[in-house]
Amino acid sequence: MPREGVDNLLSELKECSEVQNYSTKNLKKLADNCRNRIIEVISQTGGHLASSLGSVELTVALAKVFNFKKDKIIWDVGHQTYTYKLLTGRNDQFEFIGKKRGIAKFLSRKESKYDHFGAGHASTSISAALGINVGKTLNHQNFKTIAVIGDGSMTGGVAFEALNHAGHLDENIVVILNDNDMSIDSAVGALSKTILNISSSKTFNLLRAEFIKQHRDGKFPLAIKNTLQRVNESFMTFFTKGIWFEKLNFRYFGQVEGHDIKKLVSLLKVVKNVDGPVLLHVITRKGKGFPEAEKNAARFHGIGPFNPKTGVVAKSITTGKSYTSVWSDTFYPIIKKDNKVVAISAAMIANTGLSKMQNEFPDRVFDVGIAESHAVIFAGGLATQKIKPFIVIYSTFLQRAIDSIVHDIALQNLPVKFILDRAGFVGADGATHHGMLDLTYLRMIPNMVIMVPKNGIELQSMIKLAYEYNDGPIAIRFPRGNTETYLDLEKETAPEISFGKGELINQGKDILILAVGTMVKRAQQVAEELQKEGLSVGLINARFVKPLDDKLILKMIKKSSCIVTLEENARIGGFGSAVMELLSANNLFKPIATFGIPDQFFGHATPEEQIKAAGLDTKSLFNKIKVFYLKNNIT
Rounded mean pLDDT, 102-123 = 92
* Torsion angle of the four alpha carbons 196, 199, 202, 207, in this order, in degrees rounded to the nearest 10: 170
Count of beta carbons in the 10 Å neighbourhood of residue 67:
12
Give the model's confidence band at 3: pLDDT under 50 very low, under 70 low, under 90 confident, else very high: low
Domain 321-483 of CATH type 3.40.50.10470: no
Matching CATH number, 64-80+104-288, of 3.40.50.970, 3.40.50.720, 3.90.180.10, 3.20.20.70: 3.40.50.970
pLDDT of residue 170 exceeding 60, the answer is yes
Considering only CA atoms, which of 210, 207, 282, 279 is closest in space to residue 250?
279
Cα–Cα dist 444/547, whole Å: 12
- Residue ranges of E strands in 359-434: 365-367, 388-394, 417-423
Sequence letter at residue 485: T
- The conformation of residue 416, written as its DSSP 8-state character, comes to P
Given a contact cutoff of 8 angstroms between Cβ atoms, the answer to whether 261 and 57 are in contact is yes
Dihedral-angle region of residue 615 (phi above 0 means left; psi in -120 to 50 means alpha; beta otherwise): left
- The conformation of residue 427, written as its DSSP 8-state character, comes to S
Given a contact cutoff of 8 angstroms between Cβ atoms, the answer to whether 513 and 523 are in contact is yes
pLDDT tens digits for 396-415? 999 999 999 999 999 999 99
Burial of 531: CB neighbours in 10 Å, binned 0-12, 13-18, 19+: middle
- Residue ranges of E strands in 104-249: 145-150, 173-179
Sequence letter at residue 237: T
Cα–Cα dist 615/620, whole Å: 6
pLDDT tens digits for 64-81? 999 999 999 999 988 899
The three-class DSSP label of residue 540 is strand
Cα–Cα dist 25/203, whole Å: 28
Cα–Cα dist 183/168, whole Å: 31
Cα–Cα dist 489/492, whole Å: 5
Map out the domains of the chain as residue ranges: 64-80+104-288, 321-483, 503-631
Rounded mean pLDDT, 448-468 = 98
Nearest-5° Cα angle at 241, 239 to 244: 125
Sequence letter at residue 514: L
Given a contact cutoff of 8 angstroms between Cβ atoms, the answer to whether 413 and 473 are in contact is yes
Strand ranges across the sheet with 72-75: 72-75, 145-150, 173-179, 278-283, 251-257
DSSP element (H, E) containing 622: helix 618-631
Alpha helix stretches (DSSP H) within 540-599 = 550-558, 575-585
Given a contact cutoff of 8 angstroms between Cβ atoms, the answer to whether 565 and 597 are in contact is no
Least confident of 134-138, 246-250, 450-454: 246-250
Q: CA of 546: how far to CAs of 439, 572, 575, in Å? A: 9, 16, 9
Considering only CA atoms, which of 289, 211, 279 is closest in space to residue 251?
279
Single pTM value for the model: 0.87
Give the model's confidence band at 187: pLDDT under 50 very low, under 70 low, under 90 confident, else very high: very low
Give the model's confidence band at 119: pLDDT under 50 very low, under 70 low, under 90 confident, else very high: confident
Residues labelled catalytic: 286, 372, 400
Given a contact cutoff of 8 angstroms between Cβ atoms, the answer to whether 497 and 465 are in contact is yes
pLDDT tens digits for 316-341? 777 899 999 999 999 999 999 999 99
Kind of pairing, strands 537-541 and 503-506? antiparallel
pLDDT tens digits for 504-556? 999 999 999 999 999 999 999 999 999 999 999 999 999 999 999 999 999 99
Percent of the chain surpassing pLDDT 90: 79
Given a contact cutoff of 8 angstroms between Cβ atoms, the answer to whether 474 and 419 are in contact is no
CATH class of the domain defined by 503-631: alpha beta
Given a contact cutoff of 8 angstroms between Cβ atoms, the answer to whether 94 and 52 are in contact is no
Least confident of 134-143, 216-225, 516-525, 532-541: 216-225
- Backbone dihedral angles phi then psi of residue 438, each to the nearest 5 degrees: -65, -40
Give the model's confidence band at 349: pLDDT under 50 very low, under 70 low, under 90 confident, else very high: very high
How many C-alpha atoms does 249 have within 13 Å on its Cβ side? Answer: 16
How many C-alpha atoms does 306 have within 13 Å on its Cβ side? Answer: 22
pLDDT at 625: 97
Domains 64-80+104-288 and 503-631 share a fold: yes
Cα–Cα dist 91/225, whole Å: 52
Sequence letter at residue 206: L
- Backbone dihedral angles phi then psi of residue 345, each to the nearest 5 degrees: -135, 160
Cα–Cα dist 74/216, whole Å: 32
Considering only CA atoms, which of 524, 594, 584, 526 is closest in space to residue 562?
594
